[in-house]
Structure 1
Amino acid sequence: MECTGQNSSLGNHTALVEFILIGFSDVPNFQELLFGVFLIIYVFILMGNSLIILLTKVDTSLQTPMYFFLMNFSMLEICYVSVTVPRLLIDLCRQYGNISLLACAIQMFLFLILVDTECFILTAMAYDRYVAICSPLLYPVIMNDRLCIQLAVACWTTAVPMHTMFISVLFSSTFCGCNQLNHFFCDAPPVVQLICGDAFRVKMLLYMITALVASIPSFLIIASYVKIVSAILKLPSATGRAKAFSTCCSHLTVVTLFFGSGIIVYFKSMTGRLTGIDKFLSLFYTILIPMLNPIIYCLRNKDVMVALGKFLQKWNVL
């Protein structure tokens, strides 16, 4: 049964050694169905993103900065879902979600780093589209191999120091009372709510990191698209405008889905207890969006579809 209140047993200061992930235990009759659905989604995510990585490696027409970042994005999505979904599948099988503090800290650390990395890679992809549309003649010079690698490395490593500090501060705190997390993985907001005594310092640190990671990429992406839209509207040809918009549509769709659901969940959950709707939104941006990404980038991208057609044709010949 779920605990009531933030710390229902504040009087009991016995330090906790593990958490219990409630997950979807409130719907016991659907455990097997949920296991099957999440397993299918997980396999689809692995296959879809692996296919994108493979296509960008074997097809020379996709070996451009735009698809270099898409390959990084697909690699990230595989890592991203692998931090949460396998554990969720195991918990659905064994009908309980006990997780040690160490395992919780590791899962949270990896998840937070990968969330931030996704924000940064989406920002790098927006910058790539900005240069391609606003400075097409200088695009090969600006987006050279060296800059692309530097941007990718920065995207993958920038979040590590921030969350190393946050995880150290969070898990050096004492947890007591209720040890149940109304979630399907160790996310930061519900764990922060279980800290004994004054959690103001940890909450403010989480607010600052979340605001920083959400605001700077959002501002840069919006600024890029303001410039992009302005440049596209100046194009004399309707065909040229349609083609330019189509190269940005997939990226903009993913940005809207990911940032929209993520920001709502984090800022809402840090102001109160996690509800069923919040858990669904978390499910949306941790599992469902990664499932949609291969579909969005394949079906709405002619270059990828052409490369996929050539790959399948070659495979059939072999």
Structure 2
Amino acid sequence: MKKKILAALVVGAMAASLAACGSSASNDAATSGAEGSSSEAANGETYKIGICQLVQHDALDAATQGFQDALTEKLGDSVTFDVQNASGDSATCATITNQFVADGDDLIMANATASLQAAASATDSIPILGTSVTDYATALEISDWTGTVGGNISGTSDLAPLDQQADLVKELFPDATTVGILYCSAEPNSVYQAEHMTEYLEELGYTVASYTFADTNDVSSVTTTACAQSDVIYIPTDNTAASCTEAIANVALPAKTPIVAGEEGIVAGCGVAALSIDYYDLGYQTGLQAYEILVNGADISTMAVETAADVTKKYNPTICEELGITIPDGYEAIETEE
């Protein structure tokens, strides 16, 4: 485990709660809460939360919204949010989270892996809650993972069971022989998923190859190669891919190569099906964790990382029709824009 995580103070969450007494309830860049204040906020305390979202796309947007909704339902206008988007740049995540620390925010919500890594580097005392993070051990280089980060970090994971995702590929494409895994090599959690999905897919009899892009500039060319060499493509919960679904679709659909993904946002843009979680619900779940820390004094150092309660088989009816793919019973249609 990284030194900075081990060194984090167990009392970080309590200190943040005390510091909240002096927080401002107004912020020009903030989004303030729902109508009315709950009885828990009647003591006059206010809370300012910094939200660092790695990039704008449907899944992360939904998680941020769920997080805000959970807290505003609990605290009304006693909570404000400074929501910042890093436009996919990890260096910008560092700038954003360092500013949250300088501003004395009461809690930082880090939406996606790069945001979590930046926040962890920025502070070992302000409580940090991650969401839309696939594997905390990989993100924070923890070798002895027990389900709890320790120190000032906890949150929620967006990982749907990878073995079940591999089974979904087999259910939909039993006659395929090759699967290409398409992802961004700069995202540690995508690397983690690719490695484990390779194992599961090979156990099911597929020949598996990875096709990686370093950033958005390489997406189209790498997708072209992957489509030429694969019967099916699998895309994990990859933020770069999620922000480039149009570019991927522009290659994969003419090539008639079906895509299975780790979350429904990617499927809505370029895929056939996914075993997906609800990112709004995941963000809401993270918001409830924040409430426990800020208001009820929960000890974040002992707070286990939580996973989504449910996973659902989803499919894109428009792309399935275009590719002539019949989806079996038990899948829920994704509503897509015409």
TM normalised by structure 2 equals 0.24
Structure with greater Cα Rg:
1
- Greater strand share, 1 or 2? 2
Q: Which has the higher contact order (CA 8 A, sep 6+)?
A: 1
Q: What TM-score results when the alignment is normalised by the length of structure 1?
A: 0.25
